[in-house]
Amino acid sequence: MGSNFQSASAIMERKYFDVEPINKRIKVYKLPEEMNEEHLEQLKTVAKEVACDKIIFYTRSNTEEESRVQRFGSHFEGEIKGFLNGEDAKIYSFYIDPIRNQANPDNVISRIKELNLSKPTKRDGLEEGYTMIWGKEEHADEMASLYRSVFDHYPTPIGDPEFLIKMMRNDVHFSLIYCGEELVSACSADIFTDFNAAEFTDCATLPNQRGKGLLSYQYPFLEKRMKELGIRTMFSYTRAISMGMNIVAAQQGFTYGGCMVQNSMIGTGIEDMNIWYKQI
């Protein structure tokens, strides 16, 4: 079973089991046939070897595999409708260390729901002096610099130009916004080829450019390309304490799917992430 795992440094290889030491978690996208307690113990052994204390299961809704992970004592965290080649995915987490299952009470989702941002926001073109293009390999140095300046911590090493180039060569599409000659914002769509779905992620905007809605231009830009490529489900994990990112997701017609507790190394450390999804 160990051969089915990969480290976070094994760039973008589409395996069903992902070991992510940076986030201290293992993500299981496809359960072994007739998964049992022995399989769970193998997962726990691998997790301890790489200092991970959370195992995440993506299960098909209302199936025997969902029942199995429930019997293991896993906690339901949310769902992404249509994630598994059109089938709904229910997300459960097994906490090796119970301390990991402590949600931050400052999640902004209740405030977002009060705003009733249910209809996608349409915007006119970018302000004069701004341009939006597709990221290419020759932009990797600028992109890495942007990411390093915005994030003290991040789940993947996107501050490394070589890592970004490998991403671009492996089904990750980047949108970039320039103000004059300066790169001021970036965002990506990461295609999960095994599941015909794509994640909106790697969103960053320079502090002096925030409040201008730049990501609201990039979301539809990326969504259009995903439609052209035949992708039918988009999803995103947003920092639970970030009003801005959650508002953008809601404004772009995404549906809230739940909260993944202590899930990603970003911002101040390992943080809760809200799930958003959209079938396009």
What is the pTM (predicted TM-score) of this model? 0.90
**Could you tell me if 128 and 244 lie in one domain?**
yes
The predicted structure's pLDDT at residue 9: 32
**Residue 225: pLDDT band by 50, 70, 90 thresholds?**
very high
**Could you tell me if 261 and 232 lie in one domain?**
yes
DSSP state of 164: H
**In the listed set 74, 100, 126, which residue is the last one of a domain according to the structure?**
100
The predicted structure's pLDDT at residue 149: 96
**Residue 122: pLDDT band by 50, 70, 90 thresholds?**
low
- Rounded mean pLDDT of 224-241? 96
In a domain, 108, yes or no: no
Reduced to 3 DSSP states, what percent helix, strand and coil does the chain have, rounded to the nearest 5?
A: 30, 35, 35
In a domain, 162, yes or no: yes
Average pLDDT, the chain: 90
Six-digit token string for 210: 């925030």
Q: How many structural domains does the chain have?
A: 2
Tell me the residue range of the domain where 254 lies.
Answer: 115-279
- Rounded mean pLDDT of 151-165? 94
In a domain, 199, yes or no: yes
**Could you tell me if 120 and 92 lie in one domain?**
no
The predicted structure's pLDDT at residue 7: 37
In a domain, 237, yes or no: yes
In a domain, 182, yes or no: yes
CATH code of the domain covering residue 33? 3.40.630.30
Percent residues over pLDDT 90 in the chain? 76
Contacts of 155 (CB under 8 A, 6+ apart): 8, 20, 22, 23, 264, 265, 266
In a domain, 107, yes or no: no
**Could you tell me if 127 and 257 lie in one domain?**
yes
- Rounded mean pLDDT of 89-98? 96
pLDDT value at 104 more than 90: yes
**In the listed set 34, 65, 100, which residue is the last one of a domain according to the structure?**
100
**Could you tell me if 83 and 129 lie in one domain?**
no
CA distance 112 to 133: 30
Provide the CA 273 distance to its chain's centre, in angstroms: 9
Six-digit token string for 227: 């439609």
H-helix segments, 116-193: 140-150, 161-168
In a domain, 105, yes or no: no
Q: Which of 33-42, 50-59, 237-246 has the lowest mean pLDDT?
A: 33-42
**Could you tell me if 72 and 119 lie in one domain?**
no
